[in-house]
Amino acid sequence: MFQPLTLPNGRVIPNRIGKSAMAENMAAYGQLPDEKFNTLYGRWAKGGAGLIISGNVMVDDNGVSTSGDVVLMKDTPLAPFKAWAQATKSQGAIFLMQINHPGRQAMAGLGKHTYAPSAIGIDLGKTSKLFVKPQAMNEEEIEATIQRFAETAQAAEQAGFDGVQVHAAHGYLISQFLSPLSNQRTDQWGGDIANRARFLVEVIKRIRTLVSPEFIIAVKINSADFQRGGFDEDDVKVVIGYLNDLNVDLVELSGGTYESPTLFNGKTKDERTLAREAYFLEFAKKIRPLAKMPLMTTGGIRRFAVAKSVLDSGVDLVGIATALALNPNLPNLWKQGKLVDGEKLEINLKDKSLSALANLLVTQRHLYRLGRGKAAGSKLNTYFSLFAQQWRSKKLTRQYKEWLSKGYK
């Protein structure tokens, strides 16, 4: 667990613990990172994780999932990102920027036009109205978005990040292209898996043309969408082959979407202890012989014994998320031989969608508190957290709309 890992491009991650991405939802005016980000990520840096991955950074100011998303584009001021990178890398960790576009997973309250592979909205029953129904992308929009991903990666390198993680999971835009449920196109961007994977492949190829060879390119991909007829195990195996050919440096295996939020609500069909704490390990074992690059798996891991079993199975990195929001110092404690269990959130509401949302918002409240220098792991009331995060969301939405209205596009 505390041995270094050399990536295909020669970069070295100092240990096998990765802080997986969590959406911070606390961007400052201009959709920029500020001192709260530096404080939050500085705590993870001091906590001992060898790899730290940011929450999603959007590649288009007109394409944000929530009003608190950070945005990095070609002409975005880099000084705040340089400070963020410096704080995170201060103890020797490798820092990746997760780059993303929400596609149809954009909140309706932002009042923005959004697009997706096909004009198919999110189906969440009575809560579907919370999301904008998208328009199908045309060729010009597809090309422009591929270019935005590449330009954001280039800007991340200029700001001092060690690499990017292209977010192709959890039902965001690239994941929408991969899924036959959300991608019903009949042109070169839809149909069989070769066409559905084309957008992801072109994004990686374009990034390669704008960054240096030592800049890390990682991909986060679903092991499955957990939806009948969706992106499945057979599709993933094909995509892994494409990523092999593209010399991707690291693949993180995850799963679920907003419509089937296995990852977000902490539940799996198999409720054995290991399954609860390493949701996607069994799938990772199947992918390991096919993948030329290192693999990382994330999903509920919080105990040393479970983390060790993940690494013993042949997976190269163990990804930890919520447990590091509750205790940023967990890797250091394990390295010191103090094999304490990471804490977990216990939120079990009757409405599964609401329960998943509550898990997300309570986690974000923990991140916000850490960014303000407050104590880690405080017990937070679920209903007050829902109220508090709704209030913050309204404030951030006003801030986002004001910024856009002043022509910062």
- The pair phi, psi for residue 156, each rounded to 5°, is -60, -40
- Could you give the C-alpha distances from 171 to 105, 190, 262, 272, in angstroms and in order? 7, 16, 12, 26
- The reported pTM is 0.93
- Mean pLDDT (the chain, rounded): 89
Q: For residue 235, which amino acid is it?
A: D
What's the total number of domains in the chain?
Answer: 1
Q: What is the largest CA-CA distance in the chain?
A: 56
pLDDT in the model for residue 268: 42
* Least confident residue range of 80-84, 160-164, 168-172: 168-172
Q: Provide long-range contacts, Cβ within 8 A and 24+ apart, for 184-190.
A: 184/117, 184/118, 184/120, 185/117, 185/118, 185/136, 189/117, 189/142, 190/117, 190/118
Encode pLDDT of 323-382 as tens digits: 999 999 999 999 999 999 988 877 777 766 677 778 888 899 999 999 999 999 888 888
Give every CB contact of residue 311 below 8 A, 6+ residues apart in sequence.
1, 16, 318
b/e per residue 26-65 (b: at least 16 CB within 10 A) = bbbebbbbbbbbbebbbbbbebbbbbbbbbbbbbbbebbb
Contact predicate 393/386, CB 8 Å: no
CATH number where 98 lies: 3.20.20.70
Domain that holds residue 10: 5-406
Contact predicate 77/90, CB 8 Å: no
Encode pLDDT of 308-338 as tens digits: 999 999 999 999 999 999 999 999 999 999 9
Which helix (DSSP H) or strand (DSSP E) does residue 80 occupy? helix 79-88
Encode pLDDT of 129-144 as tens digits: 778 889 999 999 999 9
